[in-house]
Structure 1
Amino acid sequence: MNMRVFYKGLLSLLGFFSVQKKAESEVNIASWGTAVQSTTFYGLNHDWSAQNALDGLNNICTRTEEQSDPWWKLDLKKTYSVNRVTITNRLICCVNWIDGAEIRIGNDSSDVFSNPVCAVVSSIPAGATYSFSCPGMEGRYVIVNIPGTSKTVTFCEVAVYVIFPGNLATGRTVIQSSTDGYWFAHQAIDFNPGFTNSWSACSSTDIQTNPWWRVDLGYIYRVSRVVITNIPDCCPERINGTEIRIGNSLENNGNNNPTCAVISSLPAGVSSTYTCNNMEGRYVNLFIPGNSRILTLCEVEVYEEVSNLERSLAHDESSPLMKQGASRPERIQHKSTTNCFDAVTLHEVFVEEALPPCLLGGNARLPVFVEEALPPLPTRRKRPITRANKLEHKVEKEEEREEVVEQEEGVK
């Protein structure tokens, strides 16, 4: 195998880790919004309000009056790309009332029937939850309506699932200089932008000198951009002057690391992207210098750029790693002193090949990756030495020698 094949395999491996480290997260965002319905049924000593479908309780339901073309509508407060919608039917009574319901997703609030249809509900058994796929449909509003006369919309739960790709901050360790009440640091990485009940979806420090918030990404990454979402209601001006810092030092709680950007101002509830040009770092800090300041954040997203080549090779079935079943390496260890790999055990496709200087302890640079301890691959079996094997090996060597000669003659 020549070095071209080796490098293709290595790129495939690097692309694999890029994809693995930035796995997508599917999140139910229904409770982030508010619901209304065409009418509300009052009776049977129950509350049948539209918001009941978002409370997580399968025994408290929503219900309209009997009418023509009844509907239920969820306002997500901003446009999302919806992956799927689930509906939980009532457990007792009237389970067939959901039959024929249309699930719509779009941006028209006034004419709900003009929004595109994701799916039509044929039926849902009593108390069951059915999932309806809507991959890539974009909209701020999710509508459940039943066309026709003398109809009633009633069900117990609706969930709306959105896929959030590649946020490096997801699930990481976060800390802030102080905490105001229930405004915990981790709420800035929970995907929820805080359009309803910001106190349970956003982070905030107390009033203090030089407040800060920090996420530990766990490993060194090349950060291409950071996205910040400001609080949607009170005091959006608090974020003015916030510095985004990225680096590997915890000196002064990480606030001395290089600056990516400074937030001059950000309107209430708005998300803004700040380009960091592949700054390297393990820690991302949000820091406001000054006295009597409060740092409030509703969402912090951190992204690393992935090249099209890495992304395509990570799914390339013709790649040596993928083709020969080596979807994972046994071990890759990041050498922090030289920003290179100091120990590599790869699939047998790389065995007995000349490795680049970086992999032999040189100072050449490769993309920053991390230590991974993965299940070992099957042990390579040595072929028994036979006369046929020796002959085959001799022929291969002769062919390689002939190729070298031909290349040298071509150069001359």
Structure 2
Amino acid sequence: MVSVYRNKPGDYGSVKAVDGSRNIHLDHYSCATTSAVRNAWWQVDLQAIYLIREVVITNRGDTYAGFLLHDVVIQALKGTQHLTCGEIGHNPLADGETKHIPCRPGTVGSVIKVTRKASDSTGIVLCEVEVYGTQGYSLAHGKPTHMSSTFGSYVSSKAVDGDKNSLITENSCTQTLKQKNNWWQVDLQAVYVIREVVITNRGDRNAGERLHDIVIEALKKTEVSICEVIVYALKNGETRRIPCQPRTVGNVIKIRQNATKAEYFTLCEVEVYGTQVYNVALKKPATQGNVHYEAYASKAVDGKASTLWNAESCTYSDVVHPWWIVDLEAVYLIIDVVITNREGYRRKLD
């Protein structure tokens, strides 16, 4: 990553705040610091656009200097757009404190800027800055779509064409026939943890009031998880950012309407943001209680799902209270564990 600093090169340069070390002692040369100036700032270029979830700041911890980190604004920059992620208020961070700062929904950018807005001229010291988020493009863009019915030329794919124009006459919105229980869905073509769904409502002829009583779901085979339920109508032309409930996982996003009467159902754009789910155990180091018939622990993470013993892709341990372990070699949020049993030997896995 490329970082920018102000007025303080050398041992306390801006890169020290992203060196991976949370060391809080300035004389260990792992903190970035500016000169004593007003409105001191530090920034990091993420080199891509991200939806920012959280910024983590580690404060200086030696010589009681940590009290200086207060009145700080954290922003995400995207071109000329400046979005505020969060703030550190007038009460300073404690000496050596690591502060987790959740960002406001919809904080998107390629640069994170930390600015001290205090009236004094003491500058800013940052011993580590961590930024967490997901790639800032819509997972739904251009993906296959379907809906319950189609009115005229307002086909389902119009909601993922990248155009947020809210005027239906501009031919960038979907619309169903006038009926009950309308729905629209997009196939993301991979499984994701869904963080946020963004919906742009129709803006002309006061037709936006039709978009109410909707349920946003993530589908994964037979599993359904609810992202959110929207009861009251979106405003005409409104773009609504909808954070999903934790553990909203799926490869299909479905938006359905539970209206009590027949309605037209219109969506001018749907954006989906999240993180792809993949097999984090694949080919990682594995061990087990003992090895029988050369059925090594690594066979269970070789990527082969064959259930036949002769395919030499199954493990086998015959100790009392057998066990098997895989080292993922990193910390992950675990969504699912999928186990494939040997064919014809169900009783051995209970």
Q: Name the TM tier (shorter chain).
A: 0.3 to 0.5
TM-score normalised by the chain length of structure 1 = 0.36
More helix by share: 1
TM-score normalised by the chain length of structure 2 = 0.42
By relative contact order (CA 8 Å, sep 6+), the higher-ranking structure is 1
Q: Which has the larger radius of gyration?
A: 1
